[in-house]
Amino acid sequence: MILQQNKSLLSYNTFGIEAKSALFAEYSNKEALVEILDEYHRTYSHLPLLHIGRGSNLLFLSDFPGLVLHSRILGIQPLQPVDSSQFLVRVGAGVVWDDFVSSCVSRGWYGLENLSFIPGEVGASAVQNIGAYGAEVKDFIHSVECLSLSTGEKRVFPVEECQYAYRNSVFKHELKGQYAVTHVTFRLSQHFMPHLDYGGLRAVFESQGISEEELTPQLLRETVIGIRKSKLPDPHILGNAGSFFVNPIVSTEQFQRVNSQYPTLPSYPVDESHVKVPAAWLIEQAGWKGRSLGSAAVHHRQALVLVNLGGATGQDILRLCEAVRHSVLQKFGIDLHPEVNFIG
């Protein structure tokens, strides 16, 4: 028996929800995963299957009645150069995302600095297309190696086949629940080219009298970490899953309608006929910033983050989510969609 039974998932979800899974297994290579899947298909195929990363984007609404899988495939392996400045690095899906970014910066492999300190693991980064400070991981992914959960066969998805979009990929839609990511190959650069146009990064360096020429990758990473720490609650202290909602993309007409009533509504262009508006702004204006409902609260420094004040259940967080959604819909006519995956 390689499957554990009745496993607590408390340390596998950053919301700090007490949930259990009927079955649980971790693996450190593809062969071990194939063995686990064999046992699952032989004996438990009537039960649902869920592959998790670090649980930083999950909300358990109840105990999970099936098998939870977690990768411990490690390793950061530089591959061949693509050209004189770019090269490929193959990384195990179970590597902690920020350990990878930290290792890149210290080895002189550049590109990922703006994505510093995002919680989660490398496998999930490629499913979720994580992003921050104007960067998205899709721009650094070369290919994603997967194993079919039904047949155990290996399949490599070149980045063009991953259908990446804002916080989205083929692994969240057509292929949802069908594959486990085993490795991700990244395309990184030997040259440091800072991107400072988003989220006030340039202003931070200007205020410190640091010019773009003087900026080092280490300093950029430390600054991004500093901003994240100042805005986002530490899940070890206050359970949370980062942004709870995605920033809604609305038509230009809808934006103009809302903007005529609320002229300070910020917006970021998406294409000719759509803009993205910050969900945090809508939630704050709807009066929810810092408010709680039982043991669930809207964080007082970043309205996009819902937090577990201690002992909250998944249902408590869901109740708050629905209340916030309802208020925003009533006030602005905009329906917010959770970024967090609900399980159960």
| C-alpha to C-alpha distance for 218 and 113, rounded to whole angstroms | 8
| C-alpha to C-alpha distance for 341 and 149, rounded to whole angstroms | 19
Q: Helices in the chain by DSSP H: which ranges?
A: 30-43, 97-107, 122-128, 201-207, 217-231, 252-261, 279-285, 314-332
- 336 touching ligand EPU, by CB under 6 A: no
Number of residues that bind ligand EPU (CB under 6 A): 19
Among 13, 116, 302, 308, indicate the residue that binds ligand EPU (CB under 6 A): 302
State which residue, 25 or 277, has the beta carbon closest to ligand EPU: 277
Find the catalytic residue in 169, 243, 267, 327: 243
Site string for ligand EPU, 186-215 (x = CB under 6 A): -------------x----------------
Residue 168 β-bridge partners: 165
State which residue, 36 or 280, has the beta carbon closest to ligand EPU: 280
Q: Which segment (87-95, 151-159, 215-223, 277-285) binds ligand EPU by CB under 6 A?
A: 277-285
| C-alpha to C-alpha distance for 266 and 262, rounded to whole angstroms | 10
- 281 touching ligand EPU, by CB under 6 A: yes
Task: Starting at the earlier edge strand, list the strands of the sheet with 64-71.
Answer: 4-8, 20-27, 64-71, 49-52
State which residue, 210 or 249, has the beta carbon closest to ligand EPU: 249
- 338 touching ligand EPU, by CB under 6 A: no
- C-alpha distances in angstroms, 149 versus 93, 191, 275? 15, 38, 37
| CB contact set of 50 (below 8 Å; sequence gap of 6+) | 21, 64, 66, 67, 68, 69, 177, 343
Is 339 tagged catalytic?
Answer: yes
CB 223 within 8 A of CB 205: yes
- 339 touching ligand EPU, by CB under 6 A: yes
Report the amino acid identity of residue 292. Answer: S
Find the catalytic residue in 90, 155, 167, 187: 167
- 100 touching ligand EPU, by CB under 6 A: no
| C-alpha to C-alpha distance for 33 and 294, rounded to whole angstroms | 40
- C-alpha distances in angstroms, 27 versus 14, 73, 174, 258? 21, 7, 25, 50
Retrieve residue 228's tokens. Answer: 């994240």
- 68 touching ligand EPU, by CB under 6 A: no
- 255 touching ligand EPU, by CB under 6 A: no
Is 243 tagged catalytic?
Answer: yes
Among 19, 59, 220, 280, indicate the residue that binds ligand EPU (CB under 6 A): 280
User: Could you tell me the smallest distance in angstroms from the CB atom of residue 133 to ligand EPU?
Assistant: 5
- 98 touching ligand EPU, by CB under 6 A: no
- 303 touching ligand EPU, by CB under 6 A: yes
User: Could you tell me the smallest distance in angstroms from the CB atom of residue 335 to ligand EPU?
Assistant: 15
What does the radius of gyration of the chain's CA atoms come to, in whole angstroms? 21
| C-alpha to C-alpha distance for 1 and 237, rounded to whole angstroms | 36
Among 133, 140, 164, 186, indicate the residue that binds ligand EPU (CB under 6 A): 133
Binding to ligand EPU in span 221-250, by CB under 6 A: 231-232, 242-243, 246-247
Query: Where in the sequence numbering do the catalytic residues fall?
Result: 167, 243, 339
Binding site for ligand EPU (CB under 6 A): 132-133, 199, 231-232, 242-243, 246-247, 266, 278, 280-281, 284, 289, 302-304, 339
